[in-house]
Structure 1
Amino acid sequence: MNWARLALRFGEPLLPLGRRVPFAVQKLVLEKALARIFARPLQDGAFDLLEGRWLRLEISNLGLAWCLTRTPGGLRLARRAPVDVCIRGNWREFLLLASRQEDPDTLFFRRRLVIEGDTDLGLAVKNLLDSLDPEELPPQLWRAMQELGAALRQ
């Protein structure tokens, strides 16, 4: 059994504990990670469509949710905000989406991921994420995401 299968097998029961992490810690970690991971797309204006608008990401089966917007300082998270659009799904679908193991349109068409609210903004965000070049991610992160996604598909 490879490391990705082991990580999924033993890590999955621990995932719901993420909701016990104080929001301030989640915010700090996620904002720093997003700034690093999306440094070039942020610099190129790819996330400007979220300026003054709020996206809520909900991982339903883990009880986790974050509201995300674009500010002059970068991507910012809030626990609650007047959201324009919400994208909801289970952690597995988000991992399949991020690792490019599943086509985003398929996930949305089969209602494994759901967009509610301003669907034009939701589709623009989906298309933005789909257009990002995974080769610009830190190589170890991209490799790990691919291996975890592939193990999940099996």
Structure 2
Amino acid sequence: MSDFTIPKFRLPGFVAALGHKLPQWPHGLALVAGLNAALKMKLLPESELTALEDKLFRVQVLDTGGTAHFTYRDGLFRPVFRAEREPDLAFAANLSAYLQLLARQEDPDTLFFNRELEITGDTELGLLVKNMLDAVEWPKLPRLPLPSR
């Protein structure tokens, strides 16, 4: 039996059109909660985190219309509700690309060179973040039994 693979997909245009009109702050809160959970679980290499101090990040999910701004300060990731400057590092991709990254089905380099992931800003910071994500050892989740037919 093969593992589930996340297909490349793009949500219909009306989803992004609607998503742009909705408040964006929940996206930042959700992303920061996940990042801080990863910190608490010691999944992120602590030695690299000081380089993120006071940097502004933006993550856009193009086909949902969602945007999250956040920073890292005093040992925690924190949402930024009103970004007053350009981010130091920004990512933009469709939902499927982010899901493929999280599932380790695709790596950032492949998505970038296939023009499925846009990365803008500080190149050195981008490389640091990429290497941090590559170093994450995701906990193994137990496999759920498939229902019998």
**Fold in common (TM above 0.5):** yes
Residue 119 of structure 1 is matched in structure 2 by: 123
1:63 maps to which of 62, 65, 83: 65
State which structure, 1 or 2, has the greater radius of gyration over its C-alpha atoms.
2
Distance 1:107 1:29, change over 3 A: closer
Letter aligned with residue 47 of structure 1: L
- For the Cα contact (< 8 Å) 2:53–2:72, is it kept in 1? yes
- 1:73 Cα deviation after fit: 4.6
Give the superposed CA RMSD. Answer: 3.1
Residue 148 of structure 1 is matched in structure 2 by: none
CA distance in 1, matches of 2:21, 2:138: 30
- 1:122 Cα deviation after fit: 1.3
1:72 aligns with 2:74: yes
- For the Cα contact (< 8 Å) 1:104–1:130, is it kept in 2? no
Residue 38 of structure 2 is matched in structure 1 by: 37
Equivalences, count: 132
Q: Secondary structure at the match of 2:104?
A: coil
TM-score, normalised to structure 2, is 0.70
- For the Cα contact (< 8 Å) 2:93–2:118, is it kept in 1? yes
Distance 1:69 1:100, change over 3 A: same
Gap runs ≥5 in structure 1: 145-154
Q: Secondary structure at the match of 1:100?
A: coil
Describe the superposition over 1:104-127 as per-residue Cα deviations: whole angstroms up to 9, x where unpaired: 211112121111121221121112
CA distance in 2, matches of 1:85, 1:24: 19
Gap runs ≥5 in structure 2: 145-149
Distance 1:26 1:58, change over 3 A: closer
% identical aligned pairs:
34
- For the Cα contact (< 8 Å) 1:41–1:47, is it kept in 2? no
TM-score, normalised to structure 1, is 0.68
CA distance in 1, matches of 2:52, 2:76: 10
Letter aligned with residue 54 of structure 2: G
- 1:74 Cα deviation after fit: 0.5
* Runs of 4+ with >4 A deviation: 15-21
Q: Which has the higher helix share?
A: 1
Q: Secondary structure at the match of 1:133?
A: coil
Residue 147 of structure 2 is matched in structure 1 by: none
